[in-house]
Homo-oligomer: A and B are copies of this chain.
Amino acid sequence: MSTIDFALTCPAPAGRHTTVQLAHGGGGRLTRELVESVFVPAFDSRALRERHDSAVLPLGEAWLAFTTDSYVIHPRFFPGGDIGKLAVFGTVNDLAMAGARPLYLSAGFILEEGLPLGELQRIAASMRAAADACGVELVTGDTKVVDRGKGDGLFVNTAGVGVVPRNVAIGPRHIRPGDAILLSGDVGRHGIAVLSVRKGLELESGVESDCAPLAAQVAGLLETGIDVHCLRDATRGGLATALNELALDAAVGIEVEERAIPVCDEVRGACELLGLDPLYVACEGRMVVFVPAAEACRALDALRACHGGEAAVQIGEARTGPAGMVTLKTTLGAHRLLDLLSGEQLPRIC
């Protein structure tokens, strides 16, 4: 069913809910329902239909990548980062996922009356350091203030603009059955780092967020001339959610091997303690890469040569079907469905 059919046949909000639920922000099934039932029909544009992390758009002679994300993470400071660093790297990564070279960022702040100005300065400095670290410029901004009790200290939106090289065409619709699926590093660090502060957990080995820019890894990959089919960073909802989105949008089946997916001991331990599946826990510096199987080894070499990509591995492959389904081959050799989560696992993780 095309998005236009959807607009014509489902004017009412889809699903069981008539009000916004926390899970609408969780990145799982309800987030997808919200986007499909409200935003896609309303905004319906070619770019949105591509279901990409960034829109890729003509602008004169160039191809422009354009993306936005708001950040509402709680708490604002966590091991390995803060909301400002996250906002810069998150948007840089969304541009990189379109194969773009990130260039410019905007920053829109929604401040709650009473926020300490010193904290705002600290976050602004962190944004600048993050921008410098990946060679992008913060070029335009906006500040709004809401009355006490009508916000939560600070929310920040970053939008980003980059250029996509002429020969690059990366996105869900370029995924082909048979593609090798690579993962750039171990998963779940960001979510556990945030939870460890939020829950006041004294996790013995202090997991740090993996919050990091992926643009250099993407540039390294593209420089090799490998025909990269799709890139997707595993953020809200973790690796499993990213794979599900891609399986749905590319109408392919995906099979991944549990044994191949790196999860560090500290994350695994914390997940067991908290009853979480690490495959659904947010990362902020990890991506999956779809390339033709024949180019998998070269692509891994290219990733491993880049800072942050040293632990890249192949975790599975795309198949002809069942379309939209992600299957995990467990360490015991059984197969289980890695579904989209319906509920909210970790609210306000980014």
Interface residues, chain A, with chain B CB atoms under 8 Å away: 11-13, 17-26, 31, 34-35, 37-39, 42-45, 47-48, 54-55, 57, 59-62, 64, 66-72, 103-104, 106-118, 120-121, 124-125, 127-128, 131, 137-147, 149-152, 155, 157, 159, 161, 163, 347-348, 350
Beyond A54-B140, A157-B157: 11 further Cβ-contacts under 8 Å? A17-B117, A43-B127, A45-B138, A45-B139, A48-B141, A57-B161, A59-B103, A64-B104, A68-B159, A106-B159, A150-B152
CB-based contact B347/A147 at 8 Å: yes
A151's partner among B64, B140, B143, B150 (CB-CB below 8 A) is B150
A70's partner among B26, B59, B109 (CB-CB below 8 A) is B109
Which 3 A/B pairs are nearest by Cβ-Cβ distance? A25-B145, A159-B159, A68-B106
CB-based contact B120/A20 at 8 Å: yes
Closest Cβ neighbor of A147 among chain B residues: B22
Inter-chain CA distance A95–B39, complex, in Å, is 23
Most-contacted residue by chain B among A70, A108, A125 (CB, 10 A): A70
What residues of chain B lie closer than 8 Å to A124, measured between beta carbons?
38-39, 42-43
What residues of chain B lie closer than 8 Å to A131, measured between beta carbons?
43
CB-based contact B62/A141 at 8 Å: no
Inter-chain CA distance A113–B20, complex, in Å, is 5
Closest Cβ neighbor of A160 among chain B residues: B159
Inter-chain CA distance A124–B109, complex, in Å, is 21
A68's partner among B25, B107, B151 (CB-CB below 8 A) is B107
